[in-house]
Structures are given as structure tokens and as C-alpha cells.
Amino acid sequence: MRVAVVQLSSQDDVAANLQRVKHWIGAAAADGAKLVTLPENFALMSDDTRKREVAEPIDGASPGPILSALSESAAKHGVWVLGGGMPEQSGDPVKPYNTSVLVDARGAVVGLYRKAHLFDVTLPDAGTYRESEATTPGHDVVSVDVHGVRVGLSICYDLRFPELYRRLGEQGCRLITVPAAFTLATGKDHWLPLLRTRAIENQVYVLAPAQHGKHPRGRQTYGKTLIADPWGDVIAQCSDGEGMVSAPLDFSFQDRVRASLPCTQHRVW
């Protein structure tokens, strides 16, 4: 199965961002991808007030412009699309979910993961982030079958919590998605080591589409969108700026890795 990861530099104009999303989904489909993954905040990088304004229900009955863009592009090109993180209406009008939504090749919503671990940190020389002040956390571990392959869903800051990925492994996942908007300050030191570690310890493919560059309110993200294999090798990576890379996933190679080094079977706890 060929998969694609898209790198964006989303701004505060939803319509313009969605035009870029449509372009890259089409480009990935033309490259032969069957699954196209987009980064966190693909439709909007802005302040909390704006996120509340554009938050949509994801119930299939009355899709808003963000979900419609994903569904229409997926159906048009006959590919599965993961919208890595978008504002979804919750029971709290001032705290939408940050939701990764998966649509199939017909454009139907087949999976939702609401970000569980919220980014509340103060970074030296890089500012303070309080995601929990404007986001409702999710609580479910979510995986979905895509072309017969079990795919686990996560978002950005989740990457620092290995217990989530162990639970996804227990659900039979062969592939994990980690859409992100990693800060430049943390990304330059931690992005690659964490992604490779999650791939190695769970013997899974990792798809990590990311935001890159400068965004509103002085925010700067690291980029380095990539695909890692179950041995922890990076098999595809974007350079700076917008872009897309794809790679075929060899599940027979994954089987050989798991058979030769059956570490998940040796767990004591």
C-alpha cells in the first residue's frame, strides 16, 4: 500500500488553507497513494477565538466546509484521507475537540480520534502554550481498518506518551499516524527521536505529516514530515516548506522484523 504524508504551512484563512489541502490530496493520489495524511491544524492555524468560530459538527448529516473539503477530495480522487486535526464542536461551546478525522475513498467518515493529551507547557525562549484552556480532551484509543490494515490514530503531543501506542499495538495496528504542529523549539531536538522510538518499540510504520514554518501570533513549527518503517528507519521525508512525499509500505518486511525480534511477545508488564 502506497501512503502519502503532506506538509503544510497553514495560516488563518480557512478557504485558502483548504485549497492547498485539495491540491496536495490530488498530487498524492496522482502519485499512487491510497491513503493521504494531513497535519494537525490543516484547515486553520490561528487563535482560540477563531478556532471556536470554525468548529464543525462531525456527524455526517450537515458537514461544514472543512469536512466537506476532505470528503469531496477523497471521493474525487478515490483515496482515503486523514485530516490530522480540526476543530470539532463539543458539549462545551468554548472548548471544541481537536479531532483527527478519517474518511474513506467514498468520502464517508469512518474514524474519529479526539486528542487526549493537551499541550500545556512553558518553553524557555519559546512561549507558553495552554491547549487545555480552549480544547476538550478525548478519552478513547482509536484504530481503523484501511484496506485491511489496522491503522492507529494519534495527534502531536500524544507522541510523548508511549502507553497510548502500546494500546494501539494491542489493537493490532501495523501503522500509526502522528499528525502534528510541533514547535520549532521542541521539534529540532525531539521530533525525529520520538517518532523513531515509537516505530521501533511497537514495530509499526509511522506516518507523521506536520506543519512547517511561520504562522499567525508568532508561532513557528518544525516540519520534517516523514514516514518511518518498523525498524525505525526514515524511508521518506519532506524538506522545508510545503510538500508531499509518499512511499510503499512493505508488510512482509514488517512481518520479518516482528518474527526476528519478537520483543512485543517478551513483555513482562
220-266 residue pLDDT tens: 999 999 999 999 999 999 999 999 999 999 999 999 999 999 999 99
CATH number of the domain where residue 95 is located: 3.60.110.10
pLDDT at 60: 67
Is 238 among the catalytic positions?
Answer: no
What percent of the chain has pLDDT above 70? 100
Mean pLDDT of 141-155: 98
Q: How many domains would you assign to the chain?
A: 1
State yes or no: pLDDT of 185 exceeds 80. Answer: yes
Res. 37 pLDDT band, cuts 50 70 90: very high
Out of 51, 95, 115, 224, which one is annotated catalytic? 115
Mean residue pLDDT of the chain comes to 96
1-27 residue pLDDT tens: 999 999 999 999 999 999 999 999 999
Out of 34, 56, 156, 173, which one is annotated catalytic? 156
Mean pLDDT of 138-165: 98
State yes or no: pLDDT of 126 exceeds 80. Answer: no
What percent of the chain has pLDDT above 90? 94
State yes or no: pLDDT of 173 exceeds 80. Answer: yes
The 3-state secondary structure of the chain, one letter per residue: CEEEEEEECCCCCHHHHHHHHHHHHHHHHHCCCCEEECCECCCCCCCHHHHHHHCECCCCCCCCHHHHHHHHHHHHHCCEEEEEEEEECCCCCCCCEEEEEEECCCCCEEEEEECCCCCEEEECCCEEEEHHHCCCCCCCCCEEEECCEEEEECCHHHHHCHHHHHHHHHCCCCEEECCECCEHHHHHHHHHHHHHHHHHHHCCEEEECEEEEECHHHCEEECCCEEECCCCCEEEECCCCCEEEEEECCHHHHHHHHHHCCHHHHCCC
pLDDT at 81: 98
pLDDT at 127: 79
Is 156 among the catalytic positions?
Answer: yes
59-77 residue pLDDT tens: 867 899 999 999 999 999 9
Is 173 among the catalytic positions?
Answer: no
State which residues form the domain around 15: 2-266
